[in-house]
Structure 1
């Protein structure tokens, strides 16, 4: 009568021992975002650190333009603004993709604001509006960076950027700033992507980013990463799939994820792609480069390749190289991403077995 519990335990141990582990397990999701087509641009913002702001320069570089401020009490000032002109495909000196970063300070300990930016030139259009975010005194860690891609409505011209800063609680206009007032950046040579003569019918990559996680032994090498990218198919719809790989320090390329087919819609933002990848085994502790390759879903032709720069090295290892991996059966499979349900069932079965064994002894 006691053979059944022992049989169950044996079967469970066999299941655990032969549980398949993928070379790299990936979970794919789509990033949903609202396209900014009404303003002829696509933007994404994030808070960044101002690299030029140090303790010695906190109060010496503020861009104070009295004529540009409409604040009733002057609570907000612009410390700095800087641009990174990123893409001029046809080489005519007019850019359709750029980053704008600005560092605002408040006279209070903290103040929640939002910013509306517009471009002024042959046309005047709202470029983006930030979500509310908080300024902390004269900190440089609350700077805002917007990645801008001009999609339509901006013919080649010299444009000025206007920033309007509002209190997030009262909607009071706190500050207005225009790059005309800044001698170092009074004009921006811009055009939208429709004027880039070689951009039509070519894929382009608006964004590629990654995040590293899960360093259980705290040795600086991670076992999980999330990869996000937003590709565009100017003026078209395109079925594609993505191959994601890592390049080790010896130059060897290792595929870690292959997506299903998905559609790109012109310059839409809601066709962006995200995948979470667990490196279960096969990766020595090393610094890697990330490479994303996009293929035509019908012809399998390679359409676009993007690699992270050499300076952005990803410190990775597989979880079987992590010192804390495999301490217990439950922890081993939790780290590998399969959950601990089988381990809990095993423990419950063992407890039942012990109870039955004690009853058997007492009956004897």
Structure 2
């Protein structure tokens, strides 16, 4: 899969401790017209309880409820994750291709979803929020995709993923699906693109045998010098 950053042409500067990502969000049926957007979040919180947060300032809005009890009229039928982009081949990926299907007993309902990552069992950190979309009963024609490249702010490690569904009208909590519900959302080997730089290639050493005098050829000396420089580069501590 081609990188979203390359496809979008979005320039990303150094943002310090902030988490930066590039994300496409849309109904699966509308993926062809979806546009990648740069998103920015506060620094990753890695210690503390896994407390859940409400979507779109729900607690501050009139009529919003603070209940965390799922609404039995809504549920997640499935959630699937495919990881992509491991440029340094260390087993950690900086791309997340998430697909989920939310269902309801009603013929249609307008909802939105908030998606979180948890680093090494720590608190949930929001990394994406959808636009409002329509759930059509218990059909599969409303599957939703969130394709993300994590650019910075995500250390290498094991991550869990959580999806929460909210009512678009009053922001009330409807349903969730997470690592306790499906292994698809558990123990994901993830890192950001800043940590996924490919290793510098080691130049091939060409040995040139010259006749006379027993001296090494100048090409051999040049190759050995390049190899030594490459080893110093590979051995330097990462930033």
Pairwise TM-score range, normalised by the shorter structure: 0.5 to 0.7
| CA displacement at 1:75 relative to structure 2 | 1.7
Distance verdict in 2 for CA 1:192–1:112, change over 3 Å: same
* 1:225-304 equivalences in 2 (<5 Å): none
Structure 1, unaligned runs of 5 or more: 1-30, 50-67, 201-364
Distance verdict in 2 for CA 1:195–1:169, change over 3 Å: same
Query: Which residue in 2 is equivalent to 1:329?
Result: none
Post-superposition CA distance 1:254-280 (Å, at most 9, x none): xxxxxxxxxxxxxxxxxxxxxxxxxxx
Residue 46 of structure 1 is aligned with which of 4, 8, 26?
A: 26
| CA displacement at 1:103 relative to structure 2 | 0.5
* 1:114-193 equivalences in 2 (<5 Å): 114-122=112-120, 124-193=124-193
CA contact (8 A) 1:193 1:199 kept: no
Q: Distance between the aligned counterparts of 1:95 and 1:32, measured in 2?
A: 21
Residue 93 of structure 1 is aligned with which of 91, 98, 101?
A: 91
Query: Which residue in 1 is equivalent to 2:80?
Result: 82
CA contact (8 A) 1:157 1:190 kept: yes
**Does the residue aligned with 1:180 lie in a helix, a strand or coil?**
coil
Post-superposition CA distance 1:100-142 (Å, at most 9, x none): 0000101111110000101001564211000000100011010
Post-superposition CA distance 1:180-229 (Å, at most 9, x none): 331344221000011113299xxxxxxxxxxxxxxxxxxxxxxxxxxxxx
**Does the residue aligned with 1:194 lie in a helix, a strand or coil?**
helix
Distance verdict in 2 for CA 1:132–1:89, change over 3 Å: same
Q: Distance between the aligned counterparts of 1:89 and 1:148, measured in 2?
A: 16
CA contact (8 A) 1:70 1:176 kept: no
Query: Which residue in 2 is equivalent to 1:109?
Result: 107
Post-superposition CA distance 1:221-265 (Å, at most 9, x none): xxxxxxxxxxxxxxxxxxxxxxxxxxxxxxxxxxxxxxxxxxxxx
**Does the residue aligned with 2:152 lie in a helix, a strand or coil?**
coil
More strand by share: 1
| CA displacement at 1:74 relative to structure 2 | 1.3
**Does the residue aligned with 2:180 lie in a helix, a strand or coil?**
helix
CA contact (8 A) 1:40 1:151 kept: yes
Q: Distance between the aligned counterparts of 2:175 and 2:148, measured in 1?
A: 22
Distance verdict in 2 for CA 1:110–1:192, change over 3 Å: same
Query: Which residue in 2 is equivalent to 1:223?
Result: none
Moved more, 148-157 or 181-190: 181-190
**Does the residue aligned with 1:134 lie in a helix, a strand or coil?**
strand
CA contact (8 A) 1:102 1:144 kept: yes
**Does the residue aligned with 1:112 lie in a helix, a strand or coil?**
strand
Distance verdict in 2 for CA 1:32–1:76, change over 3 Å: farther
- Flag the structure with larger Rg: 1
Q: Distance between the aligned counterparts of 2:139 and 2:199, measured in 1?
A: 40
Query: Which residue in 2 is equivalent to 1:271?
Result: none
* 1:62-73 equivalences in 2 (<5 Å): 70-71=68-69, 73=71
Higher RCO, Cα 8 Å, sep 6+: 2
Q: Distance between the aligned counterparts of 1:114 and 1:171, measured in 2?
A: 9
Query: Which residue in 1 is equivalent to 2:236?
Result: none
